[in-house]
Structure 1
């Protein structure tokens, strides 16, 4: 798949075996013997009259061309003795058509002369380090060999009283200067200071070179024409700096700024805020963290920032059809409603994305043949989301070429590293356009429950599962009293704990059936592709019974660790799990206190959600080694209390639970900061219930 995607992004491969860049420059700079030059330029015997015709044509165009000293041109090994060129308009400079011996077109070439020399529409020119190709080198060889000698004219460029500043071709756009005839010795001296090893006047675009040249030319009254592409390139850099400054002013408190946090309805971990801000500041970015968290929320928040702070127009999201429901669910969770001007479409139906100002492409590593069409959309701002690591892959260079289509430097830096470069070096040179943080660094910053893949069970699969209105009203009434007076009596706390527990447990039979069906659907995605064995945790024995029945019907060997088992039975079940006799372990929290359940190739499934997120962390800890966390999935019923439970968790690592988690010795009465934290979580849950 990597090779297919890389091939899809590359418009066409350059001719095999051709040397480019500095290696080609060194080779071309070596002396070339006269017989070899003649052999390259000479036609076959059947076309022996062609060279004189070309020479005569050139002489007719420039009869008075004097032969100045020879000048080096782009270092590419010439080829194609059977090629021919055609120039529809008179003059040495301008458009040329390069054709094969039968007159079939090979390339369209614009001969500019001086710095930059030429532009060609072939794939080799497009992919060359310095903007060179065999077509351009061959044409220059042909023209330079004409009677009267045109090498000096080609090197000098058009004879004009003004000078010109433009951009080079190649992997990185740099400032190039063609000196006009009216340039003073002082201006020529400035140009020579910028000359490269080939004598071309070339310099980095950013810095003091451009202002210095403009000031010097203005002081002498010399006309210096600056190409529109120069200003466009500078505008890209200026706009990026402006975005950074405006965001810094808008969110003076950084990630704690109320205006920033108010963009979404559900709190996000800092790493996702950082990714969203990075994407906006970069303008065109790849989000490819080795993150246990999805990239979608980062892109959603980035789009919100674009629209709220920079008046962004249409936003197009392109994702495989299998991810569309996830996008709708995340947008609803974070924003409440689908924003106006946003479009969600698949890679095979790109018409709705035409004309968008921000293009978000999800699962960029899995879109294969759709990538060239996506590139044709031409959106000025771009966010690419990767579901797997890109560093070190064949796909990286084509994607960076797309992101850095203005050739501001990242693509050149990556190509110059070479194919053998390590991931660390790639990460460093791409830090302005690609966020690729390592999993172990990110995981250290997160509560374990945020490392979980949330498997949402649609409401239609939870038939008959509703919330008791009386319990919801009791919860609301007691929370309002807390908000007014800042305290609850012991009796009121007991009422609140019991109402909340009934809402969370709901109809045990219907919840169990829905979770069992969801687990059966999930298992083929986990085994054998991602894991060899699965541990399924729940809070209570009753929650595991429907799961056990469903898995037994599939014929899966099970081990069970239940709260109400004898110590002997529990030891036998644990041994069966440890010795590999069972592929699935069903366990309750209370039965596993102090147990080490680690086994190679295991993953975790949370069959239900604890009130205290720390208990879900403990489940992970029983399966994970030091410094490493096993993959985890959690079943979330869209009907019932589960969405409110997630809202209650927010970004909290620990919540006081009272009676909610069924721990031994738990009491319903809380005080001080514990009661305040508990009631804040209840408030978040109620807010979601009211908005649903």
Structure 2
């Protein structure tokens, strides 16, 4: 059968038309006529290229090319009116208008040719018959008999197609179409069945067959015991329901609340498709920061191992070409790589596309969003906890990737559901329940309150995030110092006190670099964790009652988190060891009782003795080495009196000391108290204790894995905008657990990387002042953990103050300013 196009409609066209507004419909035109008129008006204004692809002068197929966008579309002309013509552009496919600017441009050009009037008056009368798809109001398959159509085919068509509705194929008779096409083929008559019509029919038939097979495989539905053994971990009933829903729909949106396990549902659906429907190629598209998380969870839940099971797409174009050429079950890429890799993705031809955190692409007119919509696959699963955040258009765009016809055209949906004032401004939406009904076949969404009884009392998630290039540089610089000291210990089995201090300092710097470069230089803010936390809060706080506790060993982490919270007008309290004990109860009370206070930021000063059960989400920005400290943190919200399931999220930087801590220690063994968590910078170890410690260091730093440094562009477009460090908050240091903050000097003596912002001398003075006060408090209290600025003579017990200076530039500016201030004071006194 041949490929061509389509059916005539001889509706007359007006010779003169008024200029239409693109923002408001004329009172004498219906919305449909207005939209058609806009396309006719716009099409006639274009300077497109037009190429006739056949020898027919009017009722032919044409190539319409846009010299600006370098794109081209196939247009088939069968008449003047809407519905019978065809264009391969997205607007024609989704607008339900039966026309588009390319069709209107072509008609305008044809009508100016000699013989056009008589040709259109005679109409389209080919000898062959056609099976085509009309897209006027609804997509329907139609049959048009050619002038040479034999009686047997005409009779078969009369028994199958609805003649009163232009030969439309009824929805309940798709299975009979194959038999009709066989009759036409056996008759020797030419029947042209067009690709879009055949694809439409195939999709409908596949859906029916897939549903029947699922009923056969899992007769008890989500309660079927075979689903419990599908993955390495058992599915909760609502998760099994979500997986089956996605497979049954073929292309689906899972919009469950955050924390309900959308990832595991997508993996479960993938395994069903792979084991029972022949799926062999899966493409996961997610934010850069989640690529390794997907790789880890595919291995964990599905049991598929090795890079061939789930390969993270990294590196430059040559490396990505090699990766896409490999025979993998799953490939994992990020939004920023889509446009550049469309040709590679198309060549690899994924059968299932999983789109995670779809709400990250809020503007679906972006390059990444347009590229995403160009990816073709039989199956699709879109995951988002917030399918509708601000505007109805956001939901429309997300659904369009799942099923571009599900909600109908945007113009029609907005006309039916927007509420506007007299000035034409959108003030609200109406009849949204109709949208929910339309989405029911492709979207499943559950609230936590709906599945509360199915949820475990506590779930823990290690969220792997990448490092920026600057972070990786800082981390590697300190890792090199650790490697040298470890090598020296291997040879001598001895470390001097100086080496032990340098080792502790370098390890601490490695850990701090995982949060942000700000923790080391107090100027820049290169890092992913704080922005991932902000993105998590954007989802979490969609629930007006949700609250979260965020732990970090360092108050400087609080600083970078607070910037994100204040930018979003999210209320918070910051709790650390520098806060006087008499002021602490008020902070706790505010977090408990103030609905606007959503976040409790805490160092390990708050890991014991606090009851924060009004929060059900706990985030560890950095993990302690001591598992007891970790459990103390979690116990702040996971305790008697907690009415909701608790979610614990641990941010772990990929390819760093933090990942090494996970793989080697797994938080099952506790190092001696004070070595790395809140200990002083001068620690002496000896004998077997030193040996055990050094073996732990070897294990952790030797198991860091491979990391990927995200570029600044990827940071910005994946909701991880880089914040320039401004004037830091003046916060007291935690004398008991934040002492490690001072171990930030470059222990190998090398120069720091270039810093774009100039150091603020007053900021440096404020930080030195805060640490100075904390040091005095430590010296006053002999029972407190020693402050790193305090040195005690082991023989005499005399305490000395060792104060680090700011950077030379900041120190110079500070000296000049203090000198000027002193001169001014002397002048006043004189």
On whether the aligned pair clears a TM of 0.5, the verdict is yes
**Aligned equivalent of 1:584, options 602, 607, 613:** 602
1:619 aligns with 2:588: no
Q: CA deviation at 1:16?
A: 3.7
**Per-residue CA shift, 1:152-180, capped at 9, x if unaligned?**
532xx3153x6533211357420223244
CA-atom RMSD, angstroms? 5.9
Q: 1:445 to 1:105 in 2, by over 3 A?
A: closer
1:633 aligns with 2:657: no
- The aligned counterpart of 2:585 is 574
Query: Which whole-Å CA distance do the structure 1 matches of 2:383 and 2:558 have between them?
Result: 39
Q: 1:225-624 residue pairs with structure 2 within 5 A?
A: 225=191, 227=193, 229=195, 230-336=197-303, 337-338=305-306, 339=309, 340-347=328-335, 348=337, 350=341, 353=345, 354-366=348-360, 368-386=366-384, 388-390=386-388, 392-404=391-403, 407=405, 409-411=406-408, 415-416=412-413, 418-420=416-418, 424-443=433-452, 445-450=454-459, 454-455=462-463, 526=533, 530=537, 535=549, 547=553, 558=575, 573-578=584-589, 584=602, 591=609, 598=614, 604-605=618-619, 619=637
Q: CA deviation at 1:191?
A: 10
Query: Which whole-Å CA distance do the structure 2 matches of 1:524 and 1:375 have between them?
Result: 26
Query: Which whole-Å CA distance do the structure 2 matches of 1:553 and 1:148 have between them?
Result: 74
Secondary structure (helix, strand or coil) at the match of 1:304 reads helix
- The answer to whether the 8 Å contact 2:353/2:379 transfers is yes
Q: CA deviation at 1:330?
A: 0.8
- The answer to whether the 8 Å contact 1:598/1:622 transfers is no
- The answer to whether the 8 Å contact 1:129/1:171 transfers is yes
**Per-residue CA shift, 1:642-669, capped at 9, x if unaligned?**
5899xxxxxxxxxxxxxxxxxxxxxxxx
- The answer to whether the 8 Å contact 2:550/2:601 transfers is no
Q: CA deviation at 1:112?
A: 2.5
- The aligned counterpart of 1:666 is none
Query: Which whole-Å CA distance do the structure 1 matches of 2:411 and 2:638 have between them?
Result: 38
Query: Which whole-Å CA distance do the structure 2 matches of 1:630 and 1:641 have between them?
Result: 24
- The answer to whether the 8 Å contact 2:58/2:119 transfers is no
- The aligned counterpart of 2:75 is 109
- The answer to whether the 8 Å contact 1:293/1:453 transfers is no
**Per-residue CA shift, 1:537-576, capped at 9, x if unaligned?**
8xxxxxxxx948998999995368xxxxxxxx99974345
Q: CA deviation at 1:605?
A: 4.0
Query: Which whole-Å CA distance do the structure 1 matches of 2:441 and 2:411 have between them?
Result: 12
- The answer to whether the 8 Å contact 1:167/1:175 transfers is yes
TM-score, normalised via structure 1 length: 0.56
1:166 aligns with 2:117: no
Query: Which whole-Å CA distance do the structure 1 matches of 2:531 and 2:155 have between them?
Result: 75
- The answer to whether the 8 Å contact 2:547/2:614 transfers is no
Query: Which whole-Å CA distance do the structure 1 matches of 2:44 and 2:638 have between them?
Result: 69
Q: CA deviation at 1:127?
A: 4.4
Q: 1:123 to 1:300 in 2, by over 3 A?
A: closer
Q: CA deviation at 1:610?
A: 9.5
Secondary structure (helix, strand or coil) at the match of 2:135 reads coil
Query: Which whole-Å CA distance do the structure 1 matches of 2:457 and 2:77 have between them?
Result: 61
1:131 aligns with 2:147: no
Query: Which whole-Å CA distance do the structure 2 matches of 1:346 and 1:374 have between them?
Result: 11
Query: Which 10-residue stretch deviates more, 428-437 or 583-592?
Result: 583-592
**Per-residue CA shift, 1:250-302, capped at 9, x if unaligned?**
23444454533323212333333322222222222223323324532222222
- The answer to whether the 8 Å contact 2:285/2:354 transfers is yes
Query: Which whole-Å CA distance do the structure 2 matches of 1:410 and 1:528 have between them?
Result: 28
- The answer to whether the 8 Å contact 1:83/1:98 transfers is no
Q: 1:274 to 1:234 in 2, by over 3 A?
A: same
Query: Tell me, which stretches of 5 or more residues in structure 1 are unaligned?
Result: 1-13, 29-73, 465-508, 538-545, 561-568, 646-692
Query: Which whole-Å CA distance do the structure 1 matches of 2:409 and 2:39 have between them?
Result: 22
Query: Which whole-Å CA distance do the structure 1 matches of 2:277 and 2:155 have between them?
Result: 44
- The answer to whether the 8 Å contact 1:598/1:623 transfers is no
Q: CA deviation at 1:387?
A: 5.3
Secondary structure (helix, strand or coil) at the match of 1:317 reads strand
Q: CA deviation at 1:328?
A: 1.8
Q: CA deviation at 1:150?
A: 4.6
Q: CA deviation at 1:597?
A: 6.1
Q: CA deviation at 1:110?
A: 1.5
Aligned length: 504
Secondary structure (helix, strand or coil) at the match of 1:633 reads strand
- The answer to whether the 8 Å contact 1:454/1:634 transfers is yes
Query: Which whole-Å CA distance do the structure 2 matches of 1:18 and 1:234 have between them?
Result: 37
Q: 1:201 to 1:387 in 2, by over 3 A?
A: same
**Per-residue CA shift, 1:312-341, capped at 9, x if unaligned?**
122222333321121122122213314252
Query: Which whole-Å CA distance do the structure 2 matches of 1:335 and 1:189 have between them?
Result: 51
**Per-residue CA shift, 1:1-49, capped at 9, x if unaligned?**
xxxxxxxxxxxxx9945979x9255679xxxxxxxxxxxxxxxxxxxxx
Query: Which whole-Å CA distance do the structure 1 matches of 2:157 and 2:115 have between them?
Result: 29
Secondary structure (helix, strand or coil) at the match of 1:173 reads strand
Q: 1:145-164 residue pairs with structure 2 within 5 A?
A: 149-154=118-123, 157-160=124-127, 163-164=129-130
Q: 1:281 to 1:341 in 2, by over 3 A?
A: same
- The answer to whether the 8 Å contact 2:355/2:382 transfers is yes
Q: 1:289 to 1:432 in 2, by over 3 A?
A: same
Q: CA deviation at 1:309?
A: 1.3
Query: Which whole-Å CA distance do the structure 1 matches of 2:646 and 2:556 have between them?
Result: 24
Query: Which whole-Å CA distance do the structure 2 matches of 1:95 and 1:322 have between them?
Result: 47
Secondary structure (helix, strand or coil) at the match of 2:458 reads helix
- The answer to whether the 8 Å contact 1:290/1:437 transfers is yes
Q: CA deviation at 1:634?
A: 4.7
Query: Which whole-Å CA distance do the structure 2 matches of 1:226 and 1:642 have between them?
Result: 64
Query: Which whole-Å CA distance do the structure 2 matches of 1:194 and 1:95 have between them?
Result: 26
- The aligned counterpart of 2:315 is none
Query: Which whole-Å CA distance do the structure 2 matches of 1:163 and 1:237 have between them?
Result: 23
**Per-residue CA shift, 1:394-441, capped at 9, x if unaligned?**
233333333325x4x554699547452565433321222223334543
Secondary structure (helix, strand or coil) at the match of 1:117 reads coil
Query: Which whole-Å CA distance do the structure 2 matches of 1:579 and 1:372 have between them?
Result: 45
Query: Which whole-Å CA distance do the structure 2 matches of 1:297 and 1:77 have between them?
Result: 44
**Per-residue CA shift, 1:220-266, capped at 9, x if unaligned?**
x9979472544432222222222222233223444454533323212
Query: Which whole-Å CA distance do the structure 1 matches of 2:438 and 2:158 have between them?
Result: 33
**Per-residue CA shift, 1:121-143, capped at 9, x if unaligned?**
56653443132135645738938
